């Protein structure tokens, strides 16, 4: 029996996404389109090999994959193709689908350009726009040609083969747990992720895992046999490299206990940080590698003398350095700060007292006010702000003054219940107010004055030029009722670039007005990022770390916000939602209005 070509998870996801995109262009049933898009996304992020799932007859158990799509995938995996999919791919050229990727294009425009002007690739689109041919089409003008050319340019700079930390981290931790479970107890003495994942970088190239074990061969075999492994790229006695179904490469190294500190330091990186540490070691007469220090003979120790470190902190201490938290290891001044023993005490998960940005069923959330409150309480939070989208967002049904009044009744009732039961928890009423295209806000000043916390964010007209979008945002920041600027750059990692907003001016205005800068913890956003967070602190801004939860599990991503904050040198004192309720509220603008 000959086996058909094995499709990888990524290939299957690409095919399903391609089907979804073509259905979009053909204006098919909306739910059918969404079904394909969801299935593609789900399979792309799957750790297990789709072929194995198929073999076990469990395709339909994959979240987002129903019976219909499950059968089609089964067919696809068995035969390498599916006649219905093939027909769709033939009908709509790939070039037209690619055109949809150009910012601002969308399926409707792509379809019209293809059908009415015969444009069937991004290259052809560029040429037509350059030659001013698009303006012949109703609804297109010189302005849209300019926009499209700019969009194509943006598209070409988007080369990101890295994996979001939101995907990589749970995968890596899951593999570590599975590895431990697969081996007799105590086979693994120590195990930890290193590399950019340990530094909480927003995207990850490869995953590096280190471990200490007296039985490396056993560990290697168990690692390579994990169900997530789609392909074995390297199989040594103390090092193995595997590729997961989603294309992520994971390396596991077994090191000796006495080398653990140096190995962990070496494989955590960054390269730049390690160069700085190595140079420092050399000045003291030691050469540093993944095993430890070796005397060069230029210092007091005899040439060739070795020093090993079972703990990372001991290595740093030997070199006269404070232990540097992994998040700071980017050679952004941390080595010098560690020498002077003035590294900051970074904010940590346990510091958060509550959150100031999250959604309920009043807008696009799936949890009720009470359900979200319970989820917040379960995390040990003392307060949580209901901040549903205001009107003005278009696609999402937002809250207006009337809906807010009804919501206030529900919030008051929940708080009264807490008081009765002696529960130290307070629901706040806020809103994520839309900053409209002209800088006006989605709620009136009068309505905002009645809210406890106002987050202002941009979700629309994100392709405005630098001057326009910055002025728009500044207008919101100068509004005395706006307390927090939500996900300031609007980026979605790997899929949407940040707006052209002038963050320096925005952060200056935030400091001037006391507007709090949000670190949105959603791993697809992480907005502001580490660099802007640090700049915000330098300028004297306050930070809020919010999950922007849209369901009861949505607060479990807080650690990604904390990781980003730590990379930005943020301490607990810089973050308003590490404060008890009253102190936190006193940090916000508009205090008088709230005291009324």
CA dihedral for 301, 304, 310, 313, sign (positive or negative): positive
548 or 590: CB nearest Zn ion: 548
Strands 286-288 and 293-295, bridge-based pairing: antiparallel
288: β partners: 293
Contact residues toward Zn ion (CB under 5 A) are: 432, 457, 548
Shortest CB 327 distance to Zn ion, Å = 25
21 or 443: CB nearest Zn ion: 443
Shortest CB 431 distance to Zn ion, Å = 10
> How does DSSP classify residue 402?
H
At a CB cut-off of 8 Å and minimum separation 6, what does 82 contact?
72, 75, 76
457 or 499: CB nearest Zn ion: 457
119 or 435: CB nearest Zn ion: 435
Tokens of 533: 């967070």
269 or 523: CB nearest Zn ion: 523
178 or 396: CB nearest Zn ion: 396
Shortest CB 357 distance to Zn ion, Å = 6
User: Residue 270, preceding bond cis, omega within 30 degrees?
Assistant: yes
Q: What is the DSSP string of 104-140?
A: T-HHHHHHHHHHHH---SHHHHHHHHHTT-GGGSTT-
> How does DSSP classify residue 7?
P
48 or 457: CB nearest Zn ion: 457
CA dihedral for 404, 442, 452, 491, sign (positive or negative): positive
Q: Which of 357, 372, 385 is nearest to 520 (CA)?
A: 357
Query: Are 267 and 189 within 8 A, CB to CB?
Result: no
Shortest CB 490 distance to Zn ion, Å = 9
CA–CA–CA angle 159, 161, 166 (5° rounding): 120
Shortest CB 362 distance to Zn ion, Å = 12
Q: How many angstroms separate the Cα of 118 from the Cα of each of 27, 104, 130, 145, 262? A: 18, 19, 16, 16, 61
214 or 394: CB nearest Zn ion: 394
389 or 589: CB nearest Zn ion: 389
Shortest CB 549 distance to Zn ion, Å = 9
Q: Which residue has the tokens 């609804």?
A: 139
Shortest CB 319 distance to Zn ion, Å = 44
> How does DSSP classify residue 323?
P
261 or 486: CB nearest Zn ion: 486
Over its C-alpha atoms, the chain yields an Rg (Å, rounded) of: 27
**If DSSP states are collapsed to H, E and C, what string results for 480-534?**
CCCCEECCCCCCECCCECCCCCCHHHHHHHHHHHCCEEEEECCCCCCECCHHHHH
334 or 548: CB nearest Zn ion: 548
- Return d(Cα 460, Cα 503) in angstroms, integer: 18
CB neighbour class for 587 (10 Å; exposed up to 12, middle 13-18, buried from 19): middle
452 or 548: CB nearest Zn ion: 548
Shortest CB 288 distance to Zn ion, Å = 45
Query: Are 576 and 588 within 8 A, CB to CB?
Result: yes
Shortest CB 361 distance to Zn ion, Å = 14
Shortest CB 368 distance to Zn ion, Å = 17
Shortest CB 364 distance to Zn ion, Å = 8
Q: Which residue has the tokens 């750790």?
A: 47
CA dihedral for 445, 359, 453, 560, sign (positive or negative): negative
Shortest CB 393 distance to Zn ion, Å = 9
Strands 207-213 and 249-255, bridge-based pairing: parallel
487 or 542: CB nearest Zn ion: 487
Tokens of 40: 């593609």
Shortest CB 529 distance to Zn ion, Å = 16
- Return d(Cα 487, Cα 522) in angstroms, integer: 10
Q: How many angstroms separate the Cα of 553 from the Cα of each of 358, 366, 379? A: 12, 10, 11
């Amino acid at each position: 029996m000959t086996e058909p070509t094995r499709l990888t998870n990524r290939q299957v996801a690409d095919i399903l996404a391609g089907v979804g995109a073509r259905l979009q262009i053909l204006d098919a049933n909306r739910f059918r389109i969404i079904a394909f898009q969801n299935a593609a996304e789900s399979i792309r992020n799957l750790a297990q090999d789709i072929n194995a799932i198929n073999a076990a007859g469990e395709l339909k158990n994959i979240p987002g994959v129903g019976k219909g799509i499950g059968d089609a995938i089964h067919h696809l995996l068995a035969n390498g193709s599916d006649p219905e999919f093939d027909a769709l791919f033939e009908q709509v050229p790939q070039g037209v689908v690619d055109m949809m990727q150009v910012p601002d294009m969308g399926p409707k425009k792509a379809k019209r350009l293809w059908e009415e002007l015969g444009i069937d690739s991004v290259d052809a689109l560029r040429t037509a726009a350059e030659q001013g041919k698009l303006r012949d089409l109703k609804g297109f003008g010189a302005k849209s040609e300019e926009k499209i050319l700019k969009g194509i340019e943006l598209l070409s700079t988007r080369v990101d083969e890295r994996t979001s930390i939101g995907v990589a981290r749970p995968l890596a931790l899951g593999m570590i747990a599975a590895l431990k479970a697969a081996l007799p107890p105590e086979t693994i003495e120590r195990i930890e992720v290193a590399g950019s994942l340990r530094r909480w970088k927003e995207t990850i190239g490869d995953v590096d895992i280190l471990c200490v074990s007296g039985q490396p061969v056993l560990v290697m075999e168990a690692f390579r046999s994990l169900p997530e492994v789609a392909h074995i790229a390297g199989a040594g006695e103390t090092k193995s490299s595997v590729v997961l179904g989603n294309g992520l490469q994971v390396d596991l190294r077994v090191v000796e206990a006495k080398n653990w500190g140096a190995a962990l330091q070496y494989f955590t990186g960054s390269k730049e940080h390690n160069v700085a540490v190595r140079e420092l070691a050399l000045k003291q007469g030691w050469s540093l590698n993944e095993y430890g220090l070796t005397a060069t003979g230029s210092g007091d120790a005899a040439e060739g003398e070795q020093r090993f470190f079972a703990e990372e902190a001991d290595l740093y201490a030997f070199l006269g350095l404070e232990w540097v938290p992994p998040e700071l290891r980017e050679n952004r001044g941390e080595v010098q700060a560690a020498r002077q023993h003035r590294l900051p005490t970074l904010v940590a998960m346990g510091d958060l007292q509550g959150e100031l940005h999250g959604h309920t069923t009043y807008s696009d959330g799936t949890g009720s006010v009470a359900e979200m409150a319970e989820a917040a309480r379960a995390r040990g939070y003392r307060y949580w702000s209901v901040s549903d989208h205001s009107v003005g967002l278009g696609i999402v049904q937002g809250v207006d003054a009337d809906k807010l009044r009804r919501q206030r009744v529900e919030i008051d009732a929940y708080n009264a219940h807490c008081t009765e039961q002696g529960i130290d928890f307070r629901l706040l009423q806020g809103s994520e107010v839309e900053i409209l295209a002209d800088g006006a806000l989605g709620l009136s000043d009068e309505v905002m004055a009645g809210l406890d916390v106002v987050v202002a964010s941009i979700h629309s007209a994100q392709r405005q030029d630098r001057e326009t979008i910055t002025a728009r945002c500044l207008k919101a920041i100068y509004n005395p009722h706006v307390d927090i600027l939500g996900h300031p750059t609007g980026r979605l990692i790997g899929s949407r670039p940040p707006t052209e907003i002038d963050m320096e001016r925005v952060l200056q205005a935030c400091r001037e007005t006391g507007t709090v800068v949000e670190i949105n913890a959603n791993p697809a956003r992480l907005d502001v990022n580490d660099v802007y967070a640090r700049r915000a602190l330098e300028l004297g801004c306050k930070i809020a770390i919010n999950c922007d939860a849209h369901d009861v599990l949505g607060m479990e991503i807080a650690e990604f916000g904390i990781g980003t904050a730590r990379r930005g040198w943020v301490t607990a004192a810089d973050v308003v939602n590490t404060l008890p309720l009253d102190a936190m509220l006193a940090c916000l603008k508009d205090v008088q209005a709230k005291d009324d």
